Amino acid sequence: MKKEAFPPADHSLVAGYLFWVFGFTGAHRFYYGKKWTGLLWFSTFGMFGVGWLIDAFLIPGMEEDADIKYVAGKWNYNIAWLLLTFGGFFGLHRFYMGRIWTGILWFFTGGLLTLGWGWDLWHLNEMISEQNRQG
């Protein structure tokens, strides 16, 4: 059996289903790294509710895909995503990841007038994965 260079990432089903509750916004899809469909869900209220209901059955597969794609390590995806979702305009996720200066900037500008918050929604998994690779 081949040993992986990095352990699987720590996206969880519990967090996925928590974000799914807000699934009409695409939150669970962004969480699992499905950016384009997350944007589609955000723009169409979860494909008018139909896609949102179907996703209840697709989340386990999304979780497995995310664990293969992203790197686990010091920074926990679940914590970072919860901080982004409920405190992203204040930069809480950036403070958590040790990005103090941009965290301060997000704090005083409302997530750079929400544009930075949107950027982070799109890139958070990659930012955490990169930081985990670096140790």
pLDDT value at position 3? Answer: 46
pLDDT value at position 112? Answer: 94
Of 36, 69, 102, the position where a domain reaches its end is: 69
Query: Are 85 and 135 found together in one domain?
Result: yes
Ranges of the chain with pLDDT below 70: 1-9
Query: Are 59 and 89 found together in one domain?
Result: no
Q: 49 lies in a domain?
A: yes
Q: Which domain holds residue 25?
A: 7-69
Query: Are 116 and 132 found together in one domain?
Result: yes
pLDDT value at position 51? Answer: 93
Query: Are 23 and 13 found together in one domain?
Result: yes
Query: Are 81 and 50 found together in one domain?
Result: no
CB atoms under 10 Å from CB of 52, counted, come to: 22
First to last CA, the chain: 25
Q: What is the pLDDT of residues 25-34, one digit of tens each?
A: 899 999 999 9
Query: Are 58 and 97 found together in one domain?
Result: no
* Cα distances (angstroms) measured from residue 77 to each of 8, 50, 53, 130: 12, 27, 24, 12
| Cβ partners under 8 Å of residue 31, min gap 6 | 11, 15, 16, 19, 66, 77, 81, 125
Q: Determine the length of the chain.
A: 135
Please count the structural domains in the chain: 2
pLDDT value at position 22? Answer: 81
Query: Are 50 and 63 found together in one domain?
Result: yes
pTM: 0.87
Q: 31 lies in a domain?
A: yes
